[in-house]
A = this chain, B = another copy of it.
Amino acid sequence: MKEKGEIYNFCAGPAVLPAEVMEKVKEELRSYGGCGMSVMEISHRSAAFKEILCEAKSRLKELMSIPDDYSILFLQGGASLQFPMVPMNFGKGAYCITGRWAKKAFEAAELQGRGEAFSGSADRNFEYIPKIDPADLPKDAKFLHICDNNTLYGTKFFAPPEMGLPLVSDMSSCILSAPCEVEKYSLIYAGAQKNIGPAGLCVVIIKNSFLESAEDEGLPLMLRYRTYAEHDSLYNTPPTFAVYVANLVFAWLEKKGGLKVMEEINREKAKLLYDCIGNSALYLNKVSPRDRSIMNVPFRLRRRDLEPVFLAEAEKAGLMNLKGHWSIGGIRASIYNAMPIEGVKKLVNFMQQFEGENL
């Protein structure tokens, strides 16, 4: 049996969590703050949990410099439930199709007759981030939807498109990876299971004026953003344990020095990998360099027959979960905040060695 520490987990999500956070979770698993009960066993309306919720919100606000006129909400259902909720609450959206998840979001809107797709990057297999031409935007769109970081294809919007329309973004796989100009967005949502905490929690950051514009009268209460805002995410029982872990992750990020520091580390990690790929005759990443994600680095082997060998040997070396998304195959290294630079260095060494031995 392998012991933790020998392995590095490159899973795209649910993904590796910071070792210090996991140690803390383990330490107080049976008795939160010495209360004799696990955080899983206390009421969401208890003073102890309300403090966790409050801390999580204020830490996230501080970390991301979220302006005062925004609300932070904790929901369930992942980004996948956000896909229909956004158009249900805000009407027709213009969807920029830059990959699988952007398309899923669009399809959920389309099913409601509330989505129009435009100027995506499907023409070049999602290997770049398109320039958005304001003339392409449907006149009656109430918002522009983007998927900030495309987990499968390894692309990223490094500047939020400013089109004079409220901007809605799926940041599941890049939230907290770098400073973010929150004020340029009207709604940000992110499934927790990549850079925040365990699966089952979805964080929503929403501009209050946008929230107030929601036409949600006939909607089920559980599908209105307003319900979560009015009840401080306690209308019903939230996923309390996931919120608790998220709060610890936020505290860890604070301790690391915040998002500017994280961005530097993440850029360094990504550069190691992209340089390795760029200098190689075996590995291939076709994403436009300026659009390359610093969270997900997908690549192919020029000799595709070697990909299963690569994956099997990587695993033997303790480099886990490098398989690309099942829908497109290949290799993908997800290097979220919790992936230490040592893991990336070990991967790069392995890649170079593998290339030497196989090419």
Q: How far, in angstroms, from A236 to B235 measured CA to CA in the complex? A: 24
Taking the full assembly, how many copies of this chain does it contain? 2
Q: Contact: A83 with B42, CB < 8 Å?
A: no
Q: Contact: A29 with B31, CB < 8 Å?
A: no
Chain A interface, DSSP helix/strand/loop, else mixed: loop
In the complex, which residues of chain B have a beta carbon less than 8 angstroms from the beta carbon of A35? 2
**Chain B residue at minimum C-beta to C-beta distance from A221:** B108
A320 CB, min distance to chain B CBs, angstroms: 7
A326 partner, pick from B12, B45, B326, beta carbons under 8 A: B45
Q: How far, in angstroms, from A9 to B31 measured CA to CA in the complex? A: 12
Q: Contact: A44 with B81, CB < 8 Å?
A: no
In the complex, which residues of chain B have a beta carbon less than 8 angstroms from the beta carbon of A311? none
* Chain A positions 241 through 282: 1 when the CB is less than 8 Å from some CB of chain B, otherwise 0: 110010000000000000000000000000000000000000
In the complex, which residues of chain B have a beta carbon less than 8 angstroms from the beta carbon of A4? 30-31, 36-37
Within 8 A of B (CB), among A304-343: 318, 320-321, 326
A217 CB, min distance to chain B CBs, angstroms: 9
Q: Contact: B43 with A14, CB < 8 Å?
A: yes
A111 partner, pick from B42, B78, B218, beta carbons under 8 A: B218
* Chain A positions 183 through 215: 1 when the CB is less than 8 Å from some CB of chain B, otherwise 0: 000000001010001111100000000000000
Q: How far, in angstroms, from A242 to B320 measured CA to CA in the complex? A: 23
With A17-B40, A17-B41, A78-B236 as given contacts, are A31 and B11 in contact (CB-CB < 8 Å)?
no
A15 within 8 A of B: yes
Q: Contact: B43 with A78, CB < 8 Å?
A: no
A223 within 8 A of B: yes
A23 partner, pick from B30, B41, B42, B218, beta carbons under 8 A: B30
In the complex, which residues of chain B have a beta carbon less than 8 angstroms from the beta carbon of A222? 77, 80-81, 83-84, 108
In the complex, which residues of chain B have a beta carbon less than 8 angstroms from the beta carbon of A38? 17, 22
Within 8 A of B (CB), among A95-114: 108, 111-112
A238 partner, pick from B2, B13, B84, B200, beta carbons under 8 A: B200
Within 8 A of B (CB), among A214-228: 218, 220-223
User: Which among A11, A37, A45 has the highest number of chain B CB atoms within 10 Å?
Assistant: A37
* Chain A positions 62 through 82: 1 when the CB is less than 8 Å from some CB of chain B, otherwise 0: 000000000000001111110
Q: Contact: A84 with B220, CB < 8 Å?
A: yes
In the complex, which residues of chain B have a beta carbon less than 8 angstroms from the beta carbon of A22? 29-30, 38, 40
Q: Contact: A223 with B84, CB < 8 Å?
A: yes
Q: Contact: B37 with A240, CB < 8 Å?
A: no
Q: Contact: A199 with B240, CB < 8 Å?
A: yes
A43 partner, pick from B11, B45, B197, beta carbons under 8 A: B11
- Seen from chain A, the residues whose Cβ lies within 8 Å of a Cβ on chain B are 1-7, 9, 11-17, 22-23, 25-26, 29-31, 34-38, 40-46, 76-81, 83-84, 88, 108, 111-112, 191, 193, 197-201, 218, 220-223, 235-242, 245, 318, 320-321, 326
Q: 10 shortest A-B CB distances, which residue pairs?
A: A200-B239, A84-B220, A1-B34, A80-B236, A76-B76, A7-B36, A200-B200, A26-B29, A40-B198, A2-B36
Q: What are 8 of the A-B contact pairs (CB < 8 Å)? A: A5-B36, A6-B36, A11-B41, A11-B43, A14-B41, A37-B320, A40-B245, A81-B236
